Amino acid sequence: MAAKDTLKINMERLKAAFDVSSNIGATEKNGLTRLTLTAEDKKMRDIFVNWLKEEGLSVRIDDVGNIYGKREGRNKDAKSIMIGSHLDTQPRGGRFDGVLGVLSALEVIRTLNENHIETERPIEIVNFTNEEGERFTPPMIGSGVATGNYTKEFAYGLRDRDGIFFEEALNETGYKGQEENRRLNVEYFIELHIEQGPLLEKNKKEIGIVKGVKGMTRFEVTVTGHASHGAHPAYGRKDALVAASKMVLAIDEATQKYEDLSTTVGVFEVFPSIVNIFAGEVRFTFDVRHLDDDIRNTVIRTIQESLEQISEESGVDCSVKQTWNIDGTHFSAELIDVIQEESNKLNYTHQYMVSGAGHDAKFMNDICKTAMIFTPSANGFSHCEEEFTSYEDIQKATTLLLNVVLELADKV
Amino acid sequence: MAAKDTLKINMERLKAAFDVSSNIGATEKNGLTRLTLTAEDKKMRDIFVNWLKEEGLSVRIDDVGNIYGKREGRNKDAKSIMIGSHLDTQPRGGRFDGVLGVLSALEVIRTLNENHIETERPIEIVNFTNEEGERFTPPMIGSGVATGNYTKEFAYGLRDRDGIFFEEALNETGYKGQEENRRLNVEYFIELHIEQGPLLEKNKKEIGIVKGVKGMTRFEVTVTGHASHGAHPAYGRKDALVAASKMVLAIDEATQKYEDLSTTVGVFEVFPSIVNIFAGEVRFTFDVRHLDDDIRNTVIRTIQESLEQISEESGVDCSVKQTWNIDGTHFSAELIDVIQEESNKLNYTHQYMVSGAGHDAKFMNDICKTAMIFTPSANGFSHCEEEFTSYEDIQKATTLLLNVVLELADKV
């Protein structure tokens, strides 16, 4: 095997690939609208498949449109190393989310090819279908079906807002392949992704090593007071908005107690929301996210107690209903160690972190050793046109990905 | 003049009048939907006019549908004492708001008549049109035109939600009278009304003596943060809802500093209000109400400073725009003293208070000596079907109104 030190990714080539991607579904403000299985997504997929073929990979499409490109290893029995992510975006999303993971994987393959590097293990690149879940909800359908978390029938039965079935969209774009193509034989999955948060930038770190994906528990809350005219004195009001505001702050302040804990109040609706009437009812949702399920459950209990106390003190009623729970995902300790060692060798500054969002890696973790590498996101923005990661950071992260792949490629 | 002590209102007769009123526009839950100049309002007006005629009053209708019934005094040159309120209600409003003021005035007239009491001054009863302002906005149109605060043309040009002009509704119900009928010659106006707040009940007082109507200043606020995915760590968020919640509490807590100060956050809209996105923008309105304009302006400055500080600390932008201001109304000190003296003579427990809402009395205060008497409202509810004042309290307040009228009736 060639010494890793002598291998260099070709940043101009990677930039050129980004330039192609950034023009397919481009928005006016430097973003991308490339929803899954639309004309834009098909255009990107067609180009991507061509790139894979140009690299001599054996390309296959599975029955939910996931695209795989396999670079054979010396050892025909060895399980592969899979790298990649997704090429679809949110409406007016960014140019990096998902795309970085696929294009950096392509650059790794290209670098191996131009340097005629052979590996023991096969290396596979993947583009998963409908990671974003914006056109067809829920997200991560491609990796979900590939890992057995969702059935094909479930995926096919999903409809977009226009009533178009997922299966129709697959057929229309020509990306409905064979079921046997998703029988994966993978030892490691590594997904390079933008951080979608401000911590690397804040801490001036070049690399985030992701220990796992936060578990999430989601709730619906209804606060019922009694609406009345603004002429009502301050005394004796049962103002649902004042009580709900205290709850929002209690939910927000709970994040102070533990590192890597986040909470989000999302939906927030006030009734009647009329200029001279104070609120009789507020309905809102909140979620609590943490990698550690015990910590998350402790925080949830604290928040629930706070909400009860606030409603009692405010003289309002409050109902809290859990609507969703998914436990934390712990990535492979072996893989995390390898990433850290390679990052050290490259003298990249790095930190451990946890992902607040789901990723294809979350599902892949069910079937193989999995980890993620994060790059800094300017201002922490993501899922928006302002999403930005510098080419300097991309170069480092892709080099790290290459070196991790090389480190693992002969470990059989 | 007959000794006040010997005069007694007839509570059964007053209850019977309430029974009639409570069945015109009755809702399933003991409320009333009797919007101004609708079929229900016309029915109530027709009955009311008959009652006035039965009492031998000279009835006149003015060009905005206000109904006056005059009981002549001995002194033809003397200005009258006017008593009354309004018979229209909110949608699913209560049976007492406005109605109490009119029916108690009628009971005063009936008591004077059955006891053959002559007075120096004429006594007039009034039912003002569209006090509620629900069908035609703004409120207090009848008293507004009668006192020169609005022009007839302004009133006629108002439309309801179905596009029907105020003038059409007047014509349809047959209540468009003559302009000269609103040339008022009034010395005193006294409006008996439910409190629309919980203070009398809380303080166990039978009578509220209203010193005036709070001035009100209203604002529109836009809080602009940056929406992002709930995957974003707690650190570095610019969550517009968390900031706006702090503002709601600051606006609410400002009421602690002064007696009779109230604030209301009414409209409150969160964007995007999606389950996995924290808020990028919140738009809300708030008002500040206090009788004393200096106090109100001081509180407004304090709130504005709080909002600025909160937005700075939260890293969000905040724009605050004043959209409405009306100064406080101070009622007649002479009349307030008379009410208090008469209440003392009757051994009624009472307290001074200020009204948080506008009333016809607010406009009448511009053209004559004006005051209001409040009765307790159960739980402070008003403008809703649960609105309730006991007949015990109504009996006391109507007796007080009678005695105040008698006290003033010969003061020429």
In 3D space, the residue among A236, A258, A193, A223 whose CA is nearest the CA of residue A400 turns out to be A193
Write b or e for each residue in A320-357: b if 16 or more Cβ atoms lie within 10 A of its Cβ, otherwise e.
beeeebeebbebbeebbebbbebbeebebebeebbbbb
Three-state DSSP at B306 gives helix
Interface contact flag, A380 B232, Cβ < 8 Å? yes
Give the pLDDT band of residue A134 (cuts 50, 70, 90): confident
Q: For B281-309, what is the mean pLDDT?
A: 97
A135: tokens are 């056109």
pLDDT of residue B412: 82
Dihedral pair phi/psi, residue B363, rounded to 5°: -75, -40
Chain B residues with CB under 8 Å of A274 CB are: 266-267
Q: What residue in A sits closest to B323 (Cα-Cα)?
A: A275
Query: How far apart are the C-alpha atoms of A350 and A331, rounded to whole Å?
Result: 17
Q: For A286-315, what is the mean pLDDT?
A: 97
Last residue of a domain, one of B302, B326, B350: B326
Write down the residue that tokens 């002590």 correspond to: B5
Give the pLDDT band of residue B3 (cuts 50, 70, 90): low
Query: How far apart are the C-alpha atoms of B187 and B370, rounded to whole Å?
Result: 9
- Say yes or no to pLDDT of A145 above 60: yes
DSSP conformation class of B161: T
- Say yes or no to pLDDT of A168 above 90: yes
Last residue of a domain, one of A300, A326, A352: A326
Are A160 and A169 spatial neighbours (Cβ–Cβ below 8 Å)? yes
* Pair (A178, A103) in one structural domain: yes
Chain B residues with CB under 8 Å of A275 CB are: 218, 266-267, 285, 287
DSSP character string of A212-224:
EE-EEEEEEEEEE
Query: How far apart are the C-alpha atoms of A409 and A389, rounded to whole Å?
Result: 28
- Say yes or no to pLDDT of A248 above 80: yes
Query: How far apart are the C-alpha atoms of A176 and A168, rounded to whole Å?
Result: 9
- Say yes or no to pLDDT of B169 above 60: yes
Give the pLDDT band of residue A80 (cuts 50, 70, 90): very high
* Pair (A148, A268) in one structural domain: no
> Which ipTM was obtained for this model?
0.83
Shortest CB distance from A233 goes to which of B246, B262, B269? Answer: B262
Say what angle helices B39-54 and B11-22 make with each other, to 10 degrees: 160
Q: What residue in A sits closest to B196 (Cα-Cα)?
A: A232
Q: For B150-174, what is the mean pLDDT?
A: 97
DSSP conformation class of B237: -
Shortest CB distance from B275 goes to which of A202, A263, A267? Answer: A267
Interface contact flag, B231 A276, Cβ < 8 Å? no
Domain that holds residue B264: 215-326
* Pair (B89, B49) in one structural domain: yes
Chain A residues with CB under 8 Å of B236 CB are: 197-199, 202, 379-380
Shortest CB distance from B229 goes to which of A196, A273, A278? Answer: A196
pLDDT of residue B366: 97
Interface contact flag, A198 B273, Cβ < 8 Å? no
Query: How far apart are the C-alpha atoms of A323 and A176, rounded to whole Å?
Result: 33
* Pair (B25, B155) in one structural domain: yes
Tell me the C-alpha to C-alpha distance, in Å, between residue B205 and each of A404, B195, B346: 80, 11, 13
* Pair (A360, A386) in one structural domain: yes
pLDDT digits (tens, 9 = 90+) for A82-124: 999 999 999 999 999 999 999 999 999 999 999 999 999 999 9
* Pair (A31, A168) in one structural domain: yes
Give the pLDDT band of residue B358 (cuts 50, 70, 90): confident
How many distinct structural domains can be found in chain B? 2
CATH number for the domain that contains residue A393: 3.40.630.10
Give the pLDDT band of residue B382 (cuts 50, 70, 90): confident
pLDDT of residue B12: 98
* Pair (A234, A206) in one structural domain: no
- Say yes or no to pLDDT of A1 above 60: no
pLDDT of residue B134: 87
Write down the residue that tokens 């119900």 correspond to: B173
* Pair (A100, A228) in one structural domain: no
* Pair (A60, A9) in one structural domain: yes
Averaged confidence pLDDT in chain A: 96
Are B100 and B85 spatial neighbours (Cβ–Cβ below 8 Å)? yes
pLDDT of residue A26: 97
Residues 6+ apart with CB under 8 A from A66: A126, A127, A128, A129, A142, A143, A145, A146, A181, A182
- Say yes or no to pLDDT of B1 above 90: no
Dihedral pair phi/psi, residue A370, rounded to 5°: -130, 150
- Say yes or no to pLDDT of A3 above 60: no
* Pair (A246, A136) in one structural domain: no
Q: For B89-118, what is the mean pLDDT?
A: 96
Count other Cβ atoms within 10 Å, centred on residue B333: 11
Query: What residue spans of A6-85 are helical by DSSP H?
Result: 11-22, 39-54
Q: Is-cis flag, bond preceding B91, omega within 30? A: no
Interface contact flag, A234 B262, Cβ < 8 Å? yes
CATH number for the domain that contains residue B230: 3.30.70.360
Q: Is-cis flag, bond preceding B122, omega within 30? A: no
Query: What residue spans of A2-116 are helical by DSSP H?
Result: 11-22, 39-54, 99-114
Write down the residue that tokens 């500054």 correspond to: A349
Shortest CB distance from B357 goes to which of A229, A234, A263? Answer: A229
A383: tokens are 């899922």
Sign of the dihedral defined by the CA atoms of residues A102, A106, A109, A115, in that order: negative
Interface contact flag, A228 B252, Cβ < 8 Å? no
One-letter amino acid for residue A4 of the chain: K
* Pair (B222, B337) in one structural domain: no
Instruction: Name which of A227-231, B141-145, B394-398 the model is least confident about.
Output: A227-231
DSSP character string of A132-201:
S-SSSSSS-HHHHHHTTSS-HHHHHT-B-TT--BHHHHHHHHT---BGGGG---EEEEEEEEE-SSSHHH
Separation in Å, CA of B62 to nearest CA in chain A: 29
Query: How far apart are the C-alpha atoms of A223 and A240, rounded to whole Å?
Result: 6
- Say yes or no to pLDDT of A69 above 90: yes
Averaged confidence pLDDT in chain B: 96
Last residue of a domain, one of A266, A299, A326: A326
* Pair (B44, B128) in one structural domain: yes
